[in-house]
Amino acid sequence: MKLLKATTFLVAATMATGAVAQQDGGRLDLIVQPEPPSLMLGLVQNAPTQMVAGQIYEGLLRYNTDLEPQPSLAKEWSISEDGMTYTFILNEGVSWHDGEPFSSEDVIFSTKFLQDNHARFRGAFSHVESVEAPDANTIVIHMKEPYGPFINAFEAGSMPIVPKHIYEGTDYATNEMNATPIGTGPYEFVEWEKGSYIHLTKNEDYYIDGLPHIDDLYYRVVPDAASRAVAFETGEVDVLPGGAVENWDVARLTEMDNVCSSSKGWEFFAPHAWMWLNNREGPTADKRFRQAVMFAMDREFVKDVVWNGFGTVPTGPVSSKTNFYTDDVPQYPYDPEKAKELLDEMGYDGTPVRLLPLPYGETWQRWAEAVKQNLGEVGIEVEIDSADVAGWNEKTANWDYDMAFTYLYQYGDPALGVARNYVESQIQKGSPWNNVEGYVNPEMDKLWEQAAVEPDNEKRQELYTEIQQQIVEDVPVAWLLEIEFPTIYRCNVKNLITTGIGLNDGLRDAWIEE
């Protein structure tokens, strides 16, 4: 098994050096799980949709695995010093898959289109005053206020550019072209055999010379995890995206000949797992109890055993892969004695607590059992609740839990993916993605607000460091793991993962060695 080392592979570098003996041609079979509901990325942003449609549609920018912006539809960009104006210079000679030319008009149209259909885009764009296109290849965005994380909101999943000539003046949701998506990306849509495969083919007129390399992409739909593993073993499939097979199978598959794996390509999402701890009532309302939970859990054990060594034990709310992370916070090593002391100190009376696992398969069930056992050993009696996905959503969204597993994406910046879980304005019944635990700290709220609009990155770091230190002390939720979903692929597939969203836009640069 070879682990792909930090391939902070700059696209510019590839293009400059040109011939690193990259070979053109070939066919690549990938798994997509589950089958996406649609490929129209402007309307639907499910994970499987992003994975396939990210080859068809493009954003203005891409991000490398260090989350630094890279050229995509925009070849150059600049931010004014006060953080109030963003200017993008677009690539020339770009055309849509149907041959129509692409221009700044399409970008302007997309901002309108997405405001109606894309919740996360709407959030980021609420800081925007106006957008203008001084000429066919320039876009200027004027802000209402400086908003640091804005520069992280331009990749294909956050802001896919959609064709104006197809959607203008139509009802977007029922436009029949949604079934045959037209983008500017390196691959064109050919055919979608429902329940079986999605076929994309090389865009011969792609605006970057020499790209893409591969002729045909087949995204295969295989509903059962064990069958997906078998499909990879028999050579029917070349790439298993993260999460396509159970963790236990990962070790077995990566021991095969000519099989590589990489945990890169998730930096932008940085999936962060934790347990919601109900801050409102019961023993979990006491800070000492929550700290005891942190000390009682053997998180390294879970990482090694349940996740087969993949992932990192987090220090707090911000993933180490996300910008503005700090490890200068109170630490919670596995220390059952310390946990017992804290419980004694608060006078915990042995009230049992309920634990709601995430209904996403065996891995999560085993995880809940391990936590139950850990907590039981320091004297906390845990009853595991059971619920299907709908029941889990309902219980967490309506605060009917004591402790509940979850994991959420961070989108590269604490203001985009972290703040929502800890500020008071995000306490709202009905959503399982906001401040579900009910953590209230007005001082922190002020700091969050300040940090989001601070134009200077060093000052932002200071603010976020302060926030992380305080929040880790309070333990509003119990952080469990920075999840890594290893991508498993044949070693002769090269340059597969070069960006912070990995497979979602990575096929542009990939090639197959014969």
Partner 1 sequence: MTLWKRFLTNRGALLGLAILIAVIAVALLAPVLYPRGPWAMVQRPFLVPFSTDGLPLGTDTLGRDVLAGLVYGARVSLLVGLVSTLMALLIGVPLGALAGFYGKWVDEGAMRFTEFFQTIPNFALAIVLVAILEPTLTSITIAIAIVSWPPVARLVRAEVMSVTKREYVDAARLAGLSNLSILVRQVLPNTVSPIIVMASLMVATAILLESSLSFLGLGDPNIMSWGFQIGAARTVIRSAWWLSFFPGVAIVLTVLALNLIGEGLNDALNPHLSRKGRS
Which residues make up the interface to partner 1 (CB under 8 A)?
A: 225-226, 246, 248-249, 252, 301, 305-306, 357, 362, 365-366, 368-370, 372-373, 376, 383-388
Cβ closest to partner 1, residue 24 vs residue 224:
224
Residue 145: count other Cβ atoms within 10 Å of its Cβ: 12
Residue 452: name the closest of 148, 174, 152, 245 by CA. 148
State the virtual CA torsion across 149, 152, 158, 161 in degrees, nearest 10: 120
Distance between CA atoms of 257 and 335, rounded to whole angstroms?
A: 41
Please say whether the beta carbons of 66 and 97 come within 8 A. no
Q: What is the DSSP letter of 435?
A: S
Nearer to partner 1, 206 or 295 (CB): 295
Triad 359, 406, 404: Cα angle to 5°: 80
Nearest distance in Å: CB 73, partner 1: 42
With left for phi above 0 and alpha for psi between -120 and 50, is residue 363 left, alpha or beta? alpha
Q: Kindly state the smallest distance separating residue 37's Cβ from partner 1, in Å.
A: 25
* CA 122/CA 127 separation, integer angstroms: 9
Considering the complex, state which of residue 258 and residue 301 has its C-beta at the smaller distance from partner 1.
301
Q: CA-to-CA distance for 457 and 415, rounded, in angstroms?
A: 13
In the complex, the smallest distance separating the C-beta of residue 357 from partner 1, rounded to whole angstroms, is: 7
Give the residue with the Cβ less far from partner 1, 240 or 501. 240
Q: What six digits make up the tokens of 239?
A: 């790439």
Pick 87 or 365: Cβ nearer partner 1: 365
Query: Residue 220: what residue type?
Result: R
Cβ proximity of 239 and 496 under 8 Å: yes
Residue closer to partner 1 (CB basis): 108 or 370: 370
**How near is the Cβ of 236 to partner 1 at its closest, in Å?**
18
Question: Is 353:383 a contact under the CB 8 Å cutoff?
Answer: yes
Nearer Cβ to partner 1 (100/233) = 233
Residue 188 tokens read as 């064109």
Residue 280 Cβ vs partner 1, minimum distance, rounded to whole Å = 23
Q: How far is the CB of 245 from partner 1 (least distance, A)?
A: 9
Query: Token pair 């995430």 is at which residue?
Result: 358
Least gap, CB of 405 to partner 1 (angstroms): 13
Q: How far apart are CA 293 and CA 300, in angstroms?
A: 14
Minimum CB distance to partner 1, residue 353 (Å)? 13
Of the candidates 56, 94, 53, 52, the one whose C-alpha atom is nearest the C-alpha of residue 73 is 94
Residue 81 or 257 having the CB closest to partner 1: 257
For partner 1, the closer of residues 211 and 368 by Cβ is: 368
Residue 105 pairs with which residues in a beta bridge? none
**Smallest distance, partner 1 to C-beta of residue 10, A:** 39
Measured from the Cβ of residue 305, the count of other Cβ atoms closer than 10 Å reads: 14
Which residues, including other chains, have CB under 8 Å from residue 209's CB and lie 6 or more apart?
none
Identify the three-state secondary structure at position 51: helix
Helix or strand holding residue 230 (H, E): helix 225-233
Smallest gap from Cβ 305 to partner 1, in A, equals: 5
- Could you tell me if 189 and 181 are in contact, meaning their C-beta atoms sit under 8 angstroms apart? yes
**Least distance from partner 1 to the Cβ atom of residue 359, Å:** 9
Between 228 and 288, name the residue whose CB sits nearer to partner 1: 228
Q: Which is nearer to partner 1, 23 or 373 (CB)?
A: 373
